[in-house]
Structure 1
Amino acid sequence: MRITGYRTLTTFLDWGRPVGDANGVLTDGITPVPVVLVDTDAGITGVGLGPHAAGEAVFPAVDGEDPRCVGALYDRMLRQAFKAGHGGTVFGTIGALDTALWDIKAKAAGEPLWRLLGGRDRRVPAYASGLDIALGDDDLATVYQVYAEHGLRAAKLKGGLDIERDRDRLALVREVLTRAGRGMRPALMLDVNENWTRKQAVRHVRELEQTLDLTWVEEPVRRWDAEGLAAVGRGIRASVASGENLTGLEQYRPLLAQGAVDIVQAAAVWGVTHFLRVAALAHAHDLPVSPIGGSPIALLHAATAVPNHLASELQNLREPVGLSFDLRVEGGAFVLGDSAGLGVEVDEEAIAVAVRPEPPAACEGPDVRPEYAGRRLLAVEDRGRPATHHPGLPVLPPPQHLDGVPHDARP
């Protein structure tokens, strides 16, 4: 079997509500989903979800090769683009092609990827992650009620702009999940998306920990700041999670060497081989690993085969336009199907005729770091009223407490 070419598509996922984090919000709730299709002379096409902007630069490393030699081809792609290979869309393109190769390998074997990789249990524990910073209390409760109805009892909220607002939103979701779990205490996490300084992180989290039990705080400071992440970890009770934006094992090594992270994360967009190697590195340090991503199906398969998987991020219960996944969510877990490969079906015609919304401005959204991130004296929100508003930062309505009384009306 030989690789004969590749094609690229871009579809989208409509969340039906605003989504974002401390860095910014997409008010229309539309997120792009790039797709790579790798063709072979055996008539098998592999599907990879992830960037494809660097396809012309990376694909020559695998063109004409046997796609089943996935590990070796992954390293060939890294060598092909070694000057810029460990960053951004180049690393993402490598990851998308790598995922497509794993899909081909499993399809050729007639097995679902989870079984080919050595997984035994098709159930992958999940936690809810709503990219929810722009939601008012009613919408927030509604979103997490839906997660709860699928059995999820763990939730990661976006925050980091205002201590009191974070406290109330976490308490609200705790109440929703506790009620659904008939009194079972849920796991709560807070994702700050690299928005604090070290001192801000410790002050903010310690304030929250007076009334809340946080399982982990995610990316409290910059992703590469091993010393800072370690300092935050020493100053709080919660675990520190990071790694989704790290691209290559060499970027994890200083964090692990300094004991800077307690939960090692890897993003689905970087591919299956990257995740397997990160998981092995984390396991060597007795640390759990957790996949991150909007459509993490490839890493869900891989998670079944590693000994240190903790839980995988479940962002949305909807599927992108033109894509269908052979999995379901029940009992607080992803349940993978028996389709050969990843279990991803691509309807190219549906994608071609879909009406695509206009993309957001390049300066907007959660992928753009605000000018004042990490150097604000005042909260972006002061009990629902913006203290200082900058482009790309969400302005939320006045928060309601669990008893329905606005902060401003409380004695």
Structure 2
Amino acid sequence: MQQWGRPVGDANGVYTDGNVSVPIIMVDTDEGITGVGLGPHVELDTIFAAIEGEDPRGVTALYDRMLRRTFKAGHAGAVFGTIGALDTALWDIKAQAAGEPLWRLLGGRDRRVPAYASGLDIGVSDEELVSLYEVYAGHGLRAAKLKGGLDIERDLHRLTLVREVLTETAHGSRPSMMLDVNEAWTRKQAVRHVCEIERTLDLTWIEEPVRRWDAEGLATVGRGIRASVASGENLTGLEQFRPLLAAGALDIVQTAAVWGVTHFLRVSALAHAHDLPVSPIGTTPVGLLHAATSVPNHLASELQDLRPPLGVSLDLHVEDGAFVLGHRPGLGVTIDEAAITAFTATGRADGVPANGPHIRPEHAGRRLLAVAHHGAAQQHRPAP
């Protein structure tokens, strides 16, 4: 469970209590090594059967074996997350068996991974927003991504507030500002809204301006604005990236932590072949941080909560605007099962909430008016 202590969410919805479940998969070996992966458990028994009894050091071959196990029904969606969690656990095992941190095993030279701040902040007040990014700035963050897409005037105002916070601590350098609208716009809305922002503020990238699979639409948006177009976190497999890259639809190629290390490495190679940078996203992207040290086209990784999920400790810290990975063998992830069990026994971890950013609103992309904001903790809904 990730306990934010405040509302978190995006244009699609908000978790008002700030509690977000974080599924954990632990894979044991007969050598006494346990690997950890964070991700869904959908079809876990079916997919685990593809790797059960196998040598976990053959992790990339086992990744393809898991994909083949889901051939008929397909591996998209949460099933791909289960594959990614198991894949990450296997990489953890392999690195532990080698007695090295994963970043070293993968060929990384520098254990510092550049980061940008991302507070999932659409549900907080302006005052809370400023306080939140002051904390990020205190850790050296000089780039920030805000959630928006429901009210462009509010988005511009909040981007300006955060830019001022980061500028105060940037010692003369200009901070990078990004906006993530989580597929809330049409193509025309995206161009119109971003151009309005760009009249007063330099936007580094706009994230998911239109639907994730709309290669022509993303390319159209990219041609109509100055900012880069970033997307890809919800694409599950290289086959979903190919049409976007062929259409010149992306400037920043993203991939989610939940899809695993092997997926990230393959997407990074594909992006590198198109001279494009990659940027991992996710609440706890520790596996992808290790992998990012080994690819030539990593740009920056998303830093959301400065605290790990309940019962999870990480061998890393944040300083001078970067994740700094540790030297513990494997991923450096330790799980306190007793703490997690005690928490779930209170009934707090009772599954996925009925409302939140995981549910696309009925009228998403079909709004003429801005959505009203009546307080930080209110669930955002489409205007009539």
Q: Specify if TM > 0.5.
A: yes
Shift of 1:385: 6.2
Aligned length: 378
Alignment of 1:218-257 (within 5 A): 218-257=207-246
Q: 2:365 aligns with which of 362, 370, 374?
A: 374
Q: Secondary structure of 1:166's partner?
A: helix
The corresponding residue for 1:261 is: 250
Shift of 1:182: 2.6
Shift of 1:359: 4.4
Output the amino acid matched with 2:21. P
Q: Secondary structure of 1:214's partner?
A: coil
Q: Secondary structure of 1:141's partner?
A: helix
Once residues 153 and 394 of structure 1 are traced to their aligned partners in structure 2, the CA distance between those partners, rounded to angstroms, is: 32
Output the amino acid matched with 1:117. L
Alignment of 1:151-300 (within 5 A): 151-300=140-289
**Unmatched runs of 5 consecutive residues or more in structure 1:** 1-11, 396-411
Alignment of 1:342-381 (within 5 A): 342-354=331-343, 355-357=346-348, 359=350, 362-381=353-372
The corresponding residue for 2:319 is: 330
Shift of 1:218: 0.2
Shift of 1:356: 4.6
Alignment of 1:51-200 (within 5 A): 51-200=40-189
CA RMSD of aligned residues (A): 1.4
Shift of 1:394: 6.2
2:21 aligned with 1:32, yes or no?
Answer: yes
Output the amino acid matched with 2:50. A
CA deviations on 1:102-138 (whole Å, 9 max, x unpaired) are 0000000000000000000000000000000011111
8 Å Cα contact 1:134-1:394 kept in structure 2 = no
Q: Secondary structure of 1:189's partner?
A: strand
Q: Provide the identity percentage.
A: 73
Output the amino acid matched with 1:357. R
Once residues 289 and 63 of structure 1 are traced to their aligned partners in structure 2, the CA distance between those partners, rounded to angstroms, is: 32
Shift of 1:83: 2.5
Shift of 1:361: 6.7
The corresponding residue for 1:45 is: 34
TM-score, normalising length from structure 2?
0.96
CA deviations on 1:349-384 (whole Å, 9 max, x unpaired) are 111111352547754100100001001111113xx5
Output the amino acid matched with 1:292. I
8 Å Cα contact 1:26-1:360 kept in structure 2 = no
Shift of 1:183: 3.0
Output the amino acid matched with 1:370. P
8 Å Cα contact 1:84-1:90 kept in structure 2 = no
4+ residue segments displaced more than 6 Å: none
Structure 1 pair 57–209 and aligned structure 2 pair: CA distance change class (3 A):
same
Shift of 1:84: 3.2
2:370 aligned with 1:393, yes or no?
Answer: no
The corresponding residue for 1:407 is: none
**Unmatched runs of 5 consecutive residues or more in structure 2:** none
Once residues 149 and 182 of structure 1 are traced to their aligned partners in structure 2, the CA distance between those partners, rounded to angstroms, is: 13
8 Å Cα contact 2:16-2:379 kept in structure 1 = no
The corresponding residue for 1:313 is: 302
8 Å Cα contact 1:17-1:28 kept in structure 2 = yes
8 Å Cα contact 2:21-2:349 kept in structure 1 = no
CA deviations on 1:39-66 (whole Å, 9 max, x unpaired) are 1110001111111122111011001000
Once residues 353 and 106 of structure 2 are traced to their aligned partners in structure 1, the CA distance between those partners, rounded to angstroms, is: 39
Output the amino acid matched with 2:326. G
Q: Secondary structure of 1:168's partner?
A: helix
TM-score, normalising length from structure 1?
0.90
